[in-house]
Structure 1
Amino acid sequence: MLKYKLLLYICIGLNISVMAQQTSENIKSVNSLEDKVYGLSLLWSEVKYNFVNIDRLDFDVDSLYRETMKKVLVTTNDVDYYKELSNFLRSFKDAHTELLDMPDSGMEDIDYPKYSTKRFGDKFYFVNYRLNCSDVDPRLLGAEIIEIEDMPTLEYVEKYVIPERTGSTLNYILNSAGTFLLNGIAGTYIKGKALCSDGKVIDFNIIRDGEATRTDQDKYFPEIKQRSRKTVTYDWKDKIAVLKISRFIPESISDEIDNAMSEIKSKNPTGLIIDLRGNGGGETDVALRLQMHLTKADSIKSFGTQSRTNLGYGRAQGNYDNNYKDYFEYKAYQTFPAEVIERDKSIVPIQCPVAILIDTYSFSACEDFLINIYEMPGRPVLIGEETAGSTGAPLVIELPHEACARLCTLRALYPYSMKPFVNQGILPDIEAKPTVDEYIKGIDIAMLKAIDILNKY
């Protein structure tokens, strides 16, 4: 039986530079020219041999490597060097292919304003601000950001924000851009214009010091809901149970799911809502455990896979024999069929109607679960937004000075049709997106839609 343990994607959409806690200006760079050449060349080599979606690229990997090498050779510090490595990996547009860690010498001191921003459609809005701050303007709440640094917001996003984001789909990248829209070098200001709900346009000039000034006593408006420290929780909406699972790691989460489902079933709910919004993934075995609660069948299907295969003899033959062309072009794959897994007979399947909530940050092993059930007869209805669109057993690559990157090596295939899961997340059956006003008021459109549907059964 093939088993894949997928790395949990912590802090969805987090740009590696945002993790920096200190400026690099006073830290001596540790990478020699030899280190820099080796690091980029190692990444290029692993991409050539192992990156799973190499057959879907619209550019030449060798050309990208050569152009990046020119830039790497003229970097004068580690900050600029790691930026070039990040840009190289971002070119592959895969959320499991990125620079993960670096020495302090490569980190910039990045901070955020005392406001939160979010994307709605093709527009970006202020949706939250910190209270009791003299430099915060409450008028900006709910205002559309129409201009940043003297350019239209979308132009600014395309030029400065999207190039810094890692993701597998444009939707995921744009939503991530909405979250990190105003971030930048700590202590610097960002200016722009905002269209308020009353129709007035006001200027803003905001300092990026949100982390530098943050305290445990900070309060926000609207109030930010604190996430439960528990990974698996459940609540009730009258006779409808709501099961929230925030991640699929560690493997002991399977026991927590079993216990929660047992308690829910004992109370004979009229419906069950499984909330997987923001679930960053973890272990596929946990996803399979949840799947077993949703079917009466004796067995369940788990996704098929594709991975790269490299054969020296095949590449040699590919010089003149078209039968080996894929090996010659580094585009040969091995396909593994979907697994049929016997369902644990001790699990009593849920009897009531089920709805599953998903969003942009349903990711990785969480998407494994959704891939597995998507074509399953009689599956639960999916409500919410398109998921992140990224899964696939990443290879961790160690670079000089304890830096590391990861590279996607596995392509999931829907277990019934064997269709590749690529270039698009899981689409909901019923799309439920809040307006900016609904979001600010805390109205959970997806939850309300799920309750309405389950009440009609």
Structure 2
Amino acid sequence: MTTFFESKVMHVFAKKILGCLIVASLNMIPSSPSLAQTQADNAAMKKAQEYYKAGDVARLDKRYADAVQMLLKAYELIPESSDLPYNIACLHALRGAKEDAFKWLDVAIGAGYLNVDHMLKDSDFDSLHDDPRWQKSVDKTRQEAARQARLWSSPVWDSAYVEQLSEDERVAGLSKFWSEVKYNFVYTDKLLDLDWDVVYLRYLPKVRAAKSTAEYYKILMEMCALLQDGHTNVMAPAILYNDVWGTVPLRAALMEDKVIITDVLDPALRERGILPGHQILLADGQDIKTYVQKTVAPYNSASTPQDMDNRLYNYLLLLGDLDTPVKILVADPQGKTLSIDIKRINTATRQKLATPRPAFNWRMLANNVAYVELNSFGDNTAAKEYIKAYAEIAKAKAIIFDVRKNGGGDTNVGYSVLRTLGTPAFDGSHAATRDYKPALRAWGKKQAMHDFADNKNQADPARAYRGTVMVLTSAATYSAAEDFAVAFDSMKRGLIIGEPTGGSTGQPLMISMPGGGSARICTKKDTYIDGKAFVGVGVQPGKLIHTKIDDFRAGKDTQLNAALAEIEKIK
């Protein structure tokens, strides 16, 4: 499927056209663009969007020649775009105009389109594959991509894992992470408050003294955690999570300020008396919460306390040396305690033991209420399956969407579901990024932010559910699932029930690190459309309902039952 009209391509229309002034003297500092120029630029962006949307309609109707004309008009307004020429090439290929397709593909490559992997998968170009020019275009794109990669991500960073990286590699990796954060991390106030250069100097001797690659990455992870952002992380080489570090085969959650086991992944532990609903009291003789705060929390980046808790007790429970068992003390519902040594398992084993959760699932509850689980937006499965089942779901008097276990993915997947809720065009979130211009820094200008255009999400013309709608959220509602919650909240379509979301979304920039590790850095700041923050705090439910321990132990869903009770109040 082509990405021709994906929303991320719409960002091209959010780029500001810079009115450059000719400087007569090096000592002169150019003034900012005039208000009239800014208004003209905004008008051009708006007009380009109109052409873009008209092209979308024509493309869906398979009127490819008309779509080309619309995009050509948009391209006249946005001549610096590489995505528009690429999409024009797609349209020409779809209509069988090979000469024009190759011409515009060449324009796109020249303008900076470098995603050769997408080119090869893009079915729009199927008609070009038997032409000798196709391979030439692919080779040209690949060569230019490799050349451009030297600026930001040279292959020199793709070094293999060894138990001890050289001091030069360790220092270079620290320096790379520090500099990429300095220039790309969107929350600059955090960099100012920390004094990021001071942090660098503080961690430099620690990195030099690291006695192993494992210790080195723990140091980098600790440094990264100071940024307190869930979309900014240092990821250690995979081999460390398979051969050096491990977690216990349990999942847990904080309920009423107690650490309660929610899942036992290893059947052997169940046979030894460890069951969901038991409370973990101690780990290696220490209070469980004190233990994880000392041993795990310092190395984890999180945007909110609830995000951190979810990481500590769910994903990374009792993370530590793989070969060192951990002794835990648990209490059953009657208060009877059991002390047990648990062997840690690696990531691969944990994944095998965990029961896969489908991206989409639904069932009709009593009183004609549809319960719809949207567990992942990692691909389009949730939206596709929902649309497939929509006719049956829409017979319900109310729908409860559950995104409590949704860790995110593609924001558009959630929007595809929201488009069916019978409202006019709705807002998503507002996005901005840093607008760093070296010359303006040299002239003493404060760094500005670049605001992306706010685009309305159009309603589904074929589906318009009019019944009651509720959404369930938790701290594990994350990233693109939070974008879903923000949009739903803004739609005023129904009530959000449950716990605040994880409070972290954005666009990560991925970078390679020495020894097979990597890092990601959040480059995009998201808020409600009116500027209200949810990153760092979480999307707040309209009705705050925490899971009750007694309900969990009895197999009852506290939040789902609260939603059902709210529905029954509606006449």
Same fold (TM over 0.5): yes
Q: What's the counterpart of residue 256 of structure 1?
A: 385
Q: Secondary structure at the match of 2:426?
A: strand
CA distance in 1, matches of 2:477, 2:169: 36
Matched, 1:357 2:464: no
1:381 pairs with 2:495: yes
Residue number in structure 1 paired with 2:174: 40
Does residue 80 of structure 1 match 2:215?
A: yes
Give the total of aligned pairs.
412
Sort the Cα spacing of 1:74 and 1:449 in 2 relative to 1 into closer, same or farther, 3 A.
Answer: same
Q: Deviations over 1:71-122 (max 9, x none)?
A: 1111132111111121222221111111235263686533344554332233
> Where does 1:19-418 land on structure 2 (aligned, <5 Å)?
28-29=162-163, 31-57=165-191, 58-102=193-237, 104=239, 108-113=243-248, 115-129=250-264, 133=268, 137-138=272-273, 142-179=277-314, 180-191=316-327, 193-194=329-330, 197-199=333-335, 202=337, 204-209=339-344, 226-229=355-358, 231-238=359-366, 239-251=368-380, 253-265=382-394, 268-297=395-424, 299-318=425-444, 324=445, 326-327=446-447, 332-346=448-462, 348-376=463-491, 378-415=492-529, 417-418=530-531
Mapped contact 2:221–2:300 kept (Cα < 8 A): no
The 2-side partners of 1:175 and 1:168 are apart by: 11
CA distance in structure 1 between the aligned counterparts of 2:206 and 2:172, rounded to whole angstroms? 14
Over 3 Å counting, the alpha-carbon distance change for 1:236 and 1:132 in structure 2 is closer
Once residues 448 and 399 of structure 1 are traced to their aligned partners in structure 2, the CA distance between those partners, rounded to angstroms, is 47
Letter paired with 1:263: E
**Which shifted more, 233-242 or 253-262?**
253-262
Distance, in Å, in 2 between the alignment partners of 1:449 and 1:105 is: 43
TM-score (norm 1): 0.80
SS in 1 for 2:556: coil
Which AA in structure 2 matches 1:359?
S
- In structure 2, do the counterparts of structure 1 residues 105 and 142 end up closer, same or farther at CA, with 3 Å as the change threshold? closer
Taking structure 1 as reference, are residues 400 and 134 closer, same or farther at Cα in structure 2, changes over 3 Å only?
closer
Structure 1 letter corresponding to 2:180: E
Question: Equivalent residue of 1:125, what SS?
Answer: strand
DSSP 3-state at the match of 1:76: coil
Query: Cα–Cα, structure 1 residues 131 and 400, in superposed 2: closer, same or farther, change >3 Å?
Result: closer
- 2:44 — aligned with what? none
SS at match of 1:234: strand
In 1: Cα distance, 2:511 partner to 2:526 partner: 21
Q: Distance in 1 between matches of 2:278 and 2:469?
A: 37
Instruction: Encode CA deviations 1:413-447: one digit per residue, 9 max, x unaligned.
Output: 212x2223321111111222222232233211111
**Structure 1 residue 141 displacement after superposition:** 6.2
Q: Distance in 1 between matches of 2:558 and 2:291?
A: 30
Q: 1:396 to 1:125 in 2, by over 3 A?
A: same
C-alpha offsets along residues 189-217 of structure 1, whole Å, 9 cap, x if unaligned? Answer: 323545554445x4624122456997999
Take 1:127 and 1:228, find their aligned partners in 2: how far apart are those partners?
A: 15
Q: In structure 2, give the amino acid aligned to 1:3.
A: S
SS state at 1:95 partner: coil
| 2:415 aligned partner, one-letter code | L
**SS state at 2:177 partner:** helix
Question: How far apart, CA to CA, are the structure 2 residues paired with 1:216 and 1:98?
Answer: 21
The code of the aligned residue for 2:472 comes to: L
* Cα deviation digits, residues 313-360 of structure 1 (max 9, x gap): 221222xxxxx2x33xxxx322234222433423x2111101111111
1:287–1:366 Cα contact (<8 Å) kept? yes
Q: How many percent identity over aligned positions?
A: 26
Bigger drift between 157-166 and 43-52 goes to 157-166
Letter in 2 for 1:168: S
Q: 1:98 to 1:107 in 2, by over 3 A?
A: farther
Distance 2:239 2:250 in 1: 27
Consecutive unaligned residues of structure 2, counting only runs of 5 or more, are 10-160
Larger helix proportion, structure 1 or 2?
A: 2
Per chain length, whose mean CA-contact separation is higher, i.e. which structure has more relative contact order (CA < 8 Å, sep 6+)? 1
One-letter code aligned to 1:162:
A
Which one of the candidate residues 415, 426, 429 is aligned to 2:542? Answer: 429
Structure ranking higher in strand proportion: 1
Of 349-358 and 284-293, the range deviating more from structure 2: 284-293
SS for the counterpart of 1:281 is coil
Q: Which residue does the alignment assign to 1:3?
A: 7
Structure 1 residues 128 and 151: alpha-carbon distance in aligned structure 2, compared to 1, 3 A threshold = same
What's the C-alpha RMSD, in Å, of the aligned pairs?
A: 3.1
Q: For residue 156 of structure 1, report the CA deviation from its aligned partner.
A: 2.1
* 8 Å contact from structure 1 (residues 232, 253) kept in 2: yes
Shift of the alpha carbon at 1:234?
1.7
Change (3 A) 1:142 1:285: closer
In the superposition, the TM-score normalised over structure 2's length comes to 0.65
